[in-house]
Amino acid sequence: MIDNNKIVEILRGIQDPNSGNDLISMRLIDKLKVRDNSVSFSVNTSGMADAVKFQLHEAIAHKIKEEYPNANVDIHFTTEAGKVKPLAQVKNIIAVASGKGGVGKSTVSTNLALGLKALGAKVGLMDADLYGPSIPTMLGIKDQKPKIEQLYGKHRIRPIEKFGIYTISIGNIVEPEQAVVLRGPRLGGIIKQFVNDVTWPELDYLIIDLPPGTGDIQLTLVQTVPITAAVMVTTPQDVAVADAIKAMNMFRLENINVPIIGIVENMSWFIPDDMPEKKYKIFGEGGGKALAKESKSVLLAQLPLVTDIRKAGDQGIPIVLNDDHLAQSYYIQMAQKTAQQLAVRNEMLAPTQIVGVNVQAKG
């Protein structure tokens, strides 16, 4: 007699041609029925060429027959496009954004991702800052290249794994001087590749490190994936807050409508190496609280400016991994509060939809 759980296990071992992930995690299997020596189910094959469907049918039947040689296997293909969404294996997609460069957004993104990992979550980090990719430096993977795989005749990119998180960056694919000349349609194409052609595993959180401001990359993302929420990064001074409000307003447009779950105020105070008990508010104060009030969200963290945070990023071992450093607790608390606010958002609000966007945004 055929075991229902064993069939699910077999299907979990078969890759979806569109994403490279397994059929179960992509929620492509429906109406699974097992009775005596027969098994039947439907597979959503939206977006697959006929030749690929044939190969998939053969792969599924072969795997089941290996386990149950005398089984009657009935596989139905459906094409319900509405049931297939990009990154269906990712529970929460968090965009980390800022209004201007130089506020430490990538440092926040990297330490947030690793902080969530430290809390026991499965985490991915997408470096969408195509103009200035810094994630490879911060994770110590500048010299690594992602592996390219063939799946049902299509090329797939395997994300790089480091410190237990999965990441992809243009900085691991082309040289930095090549990245800065990318423009318009090419930017959008790369972002879509990061979404559709990277074999992201099942994740609790995918952190997307956006470029500063608003522009082609931000618009491509909201048109391509359902972003669960955004986190805004600012420094305390008025000019940074003013720019952050401009970037935040894009997410709040009626036809985009991505919830802002919180604000991270970076460089809230400077702590000298030789006087760790001192705090110097060299960029002023109150910017993060003002932005939280403007966005009707919460202040997720106030992070210090410490030399060791910069050194850790340069050395490729982010500060949140250093159990002996006083700054670690700030980032762990930021991750905890982000997870809490995201849980509230998911409880209170409907999932974000992918929408058509007819707006002009300038960085």
Please state the domain extents for the chain. Answer: 4-83, 90-348
- Report pLDDT digits (tens) over 84-106: 578 888 999 999 999 888 999 99
Architecture of the domain delimited by 90-348: 3-Layer(aba) Sandwich (3.40)
Q: Tokens 């720019």 — which residue?
A: 243
Quick check: 354 and 85 in contact, CB under 8 A? yes
Q: What is the pLDDT of residue 359?
A: 47
pLDDT at residue 153 above 70? no
- The span from the first CA to the last CA of the chain, in angstroms, equals 62
pLDDT at residue 167 above 60? yes
- Report pLDDT digits (tens) over 345-356: 999 998 888 866
Q: Which residue type does 108 have? A: V
Cα torsion through 57, 60, 61, 64, rounded to 10: -170
Quick check: 128 and 210 in contact, CB under 8 A? yes
Q: What is the pLDDT of residue 361?
A: 46
Q: Please state, in angstroms and rounded to a whole number, the distance separating the CA atoms of residues 244 and 98.
A: 5
Q: Please state, in angstroms and rounded to a whole number, the distance separating the CA atoms of residues 85 and 67.
A: 31
Architecture of the domain delimited by 4-83: 2-Layer Sandwich (3.30)
> Is the torsion defined by CA of 86, 161, 176, 306 positive or negative?
positive
274 or 83, which is more confident? 274
pLDDT at residue 358 above 60? no
107 backbone dihedrals φ, ψ, rounded to 5°: -65, -45
Least confident span in 45-49, 116-120, 219-223, 258-262: 45-49
pLDDT at residue 343 above 90? yes
Q: Please state, in angstroms and rounded to a whole number, the distance separating the CA atoms of residues 207 and 211.
A: 13
Q: Please state, in angstroms and rounded to a whole number, the distance separating the CA atoms of residues 234 and 122.
A: 26
pLDDT at residue 117 above 80? yes
